[in-house]
Structure 1
Amino acid sequence: MSNRKKFDISAYFVVGPENTKGRPVEQIIKEAIEAGFTCVQIRSKIATARELIQLTDQAAQVIAKAGKSQDVTLLVNDRLDVVLAAKSQGIKVDGIHVGQWDIPVDVCRKYLGQEAIIGLSARTNEIFDYIRTEDTSQIDYFGVGPLHETMTKPDCGLDRDGKVVTRSFEEISKLVKLSKIPVVVGGGVKLTDIAPLAQTGAAGFFVVSAVSEADNPKQAAAELVKAWRLNSVIL
């Protein structure tokens, strides 16, 4: 079975060195996957290409040591060069996440092949039309948000006027119904958001600081995963 048919984005962790309060990225990833997170995305705007390759390698090793290489998806944000370099070094990285105005999905698919997982975030002000009209045959999931304004990514959700547009649970439910592929939701997600978010029909939630900046990342991650599983079962 290919990665594209069995990946799990129900508990999705985005992390880079600028988000961990100085703690090692690989340690935070270890705690997150031990707590039940199913997807890890390496994202950094400050790390060099070599540093990103190293972070990807460290993440892959942590996942492998936990015996979860077949269960936890490892992605890199935006950097096709990093994914290709990592793969050439034998690092098990499963794919890439790009924005609507980043490297085109068809280019990512061409270089990464049909087995790779490709996620896409669409611009907030265009997302309803985009999800309704976009050819999703080369995309595996949509990233949607923000649920709340977030300092982790201050430009998340900006519309044409430079204002942040957040998404209500009602809007997310509509997006999920419109989308032909799974939708994962993030942007300032907190523990109290998990129950209503699960009830929208979204495939999962993504977080950064809720885990990476927590005093006890493993406990914070476990609480989020438990809340998602409890509320998803009800659906």
Structure 2
Amino acid sequence: MDIRKRVDISAYLVIGPENTKGRSVGIIIKEAVEAGFTFVQVRSKVASARELIQLTREAADAIAEVGKSHYVALVVNDRLDVILAARKEGIKVDGIHVGQSDIPVKVCREYLGEDSIIGLSARTTELFEYIKTADASLLDYFGVGPLHETLTKPDCGLDTNGKVLTRSFEEIAKLAKLSSIPVVVGGGVKLQDIPQLAQTGVEGFFVVSAVTKADDPKSASAELVDAWKVHKI
């Protein structure tokens, strides 16, 4: 089954070992997926390539344990080399998430093939222009934000003057209308943001800390997923 044809970015978890308060990445992913999360991105700026391959294996195993390998997509942030090596080792990785200054989307598509998922973070400073003019034919979704300033990614939303630009719900609704592909929104998203965010027309929300740093990641995940389902227009 081609997961790319029915990719679900409604509840999207971004996770790496630096975000889990010392807990297992695999266990948190398993709990989030059990609670209804639909998409997982492994992202770490501190892990080595080998560590990232192992984290990807843990993530794939966690999703498989819940019986969701055909429904919950797993991507790796930024590291085409890690994805290719992981696949060589038989690990099920569904694609990549890149930024505009990372490996070009065309190259990712060439190496990963037509069945792989490719997501792109659109730069906050030129978001509207980019989403209007970008060739999205090789992409599956845009990641946009930040909704709030976030300690998980302090440089998220920085403009050329070093000021953090955040996005209002009105702007996000406008982006959703402009985009030719699905949009997922994150950046400091918390449970109380979900009702309004679900009304903007975007396809989903992404979180890091709201799940990975929660005292009980499973119940935090369930609350987010339930709120999204209740309020989604």
Q: Identity across aligned pairs (percent)? A: 72
Separation in structure 2 between the aligned mates of residue 169 and residue 84 of structure 1, nearest angstrom? 37
Q: 2:146 corresponds to which residue?
A: 146
Residue 2 of structure 1, CA deviation: 2.6
Residue 160 of structure 1, CA deviation: 1.0
Q: 1:124 corresponds to which residue?
A: 124
Residue 3 of structure 1, CA deviation: 2.2
Residue 4 of structure 1, CA deviation: 1.9
Any idea what the Cα deviations from partners look like across 1:179-207, whole Å, max 9, x if unmatched?
A: 00000000000001001000000000000
Separation in structure 2 between the aligned mates of residue 167 and residue 130 of structure 1, nearest angstrom? 15
Separation in structure 2 between the aligned mates of residue 183 and residue 138 of structure 1, nearest angstrom? 15
Any idea what the Cα deviations from partners look like across 1:149-197, whole Å, max 9, x if unmatched?
A: 0000000001111110000000000000000000000000000100100
Q: 2:47 corresponds to which residue?
A: 47
Q: 2:24 corresponds to which residue?
A: 24
Instruction: Please give the secondary structure, in 1, of the residue aligned with 2:143.
Output: strand
Separation in structure 2 between the aligned mates of residue 28 and residue 2 of structure 1, nearest angstrom? 26
Separation in structure 2 between the aligned mates of residue 92 and residue 103 of structure 1, nearest angstrom? 21
* Runs (4+) off by over 4 Å: none
Instruction: Please give the secondary structure, in 1, of the residue aligned with 2:223.
Output: helix
Q: 1:216 corresponds to which residue?
A: 216
Contact 2:30 2:65 in 1 (8 A): no
2:219 maps to 1:206: no
Equivalent residues, number? 233
Any idea what the Cα deviations from partners look like across 1:52-98, whole Å, max 9, x if unmatched?
A: 00000111111111100011010000000001111111110000000
Contact 2:173 2:200 in 1 (8 A): yes
Instruction: Please give the secondary structure, in 2, of the residue aligned with 1:97.
Output: strand
Separation in structure 1 between the aligned mates of residue 175 and residue 208 of structure 2, nearest angstrom? 22
Q: Which amino acid aligns with 1:26?
A: G
| Uncovered stretches (5+) of structure 2, i.e. residues with no partner | none
Q: Which amino acid aligns with 1:167?
A: R
C-alpha RMSD over aligned residues? 0.7
Equivalent residue runs for 1:117-196 within 5 Å: 117-196=117-196
Q: 1:227 corresponds to which residue?
A: 227
Separation in structure 2 between the aligned mates of residue 200 and residue 13 of structure 1, nearest angstrom? 20
Q: Which amino acid aligns with 1:168?
A: S
Separation in structure 1 between the aligned mates of residue 139 and residue 168 of structure 2, nearest angstrom? 24
Instruction: Please give the secondary structure, in 1, of the residue aligned with 2:55.
Output: helix
Separation in structure 2 between the aligned mates of residue 177 and residue 40 of structure 1, nearest angstrom? 25
Instruction: Please give the secondary structure, in 1, of the residue aligned with 2:206.
Output: strand
Q: Give the TM-score normalised by structure 1.
A: 0.98
Any idea what the Cα deviations from partners look like across 1:123-147, whole Å, max 9, x if unmatched?
A: 1111111000000000100000000
Separation in structure 1 between the aligned mates of residue 57 and residue 226 of structure 2, nearest angstrom? 28
Q: 2:67 corresponds to which residue?
A: 67
Contact 2:3 2:71 in 1 (8 A): no
Q: Which amino acid aligns with 1:117?
A: I
| Uncovered stretches (5+) of structure 1, i.e. residues with no partner | none
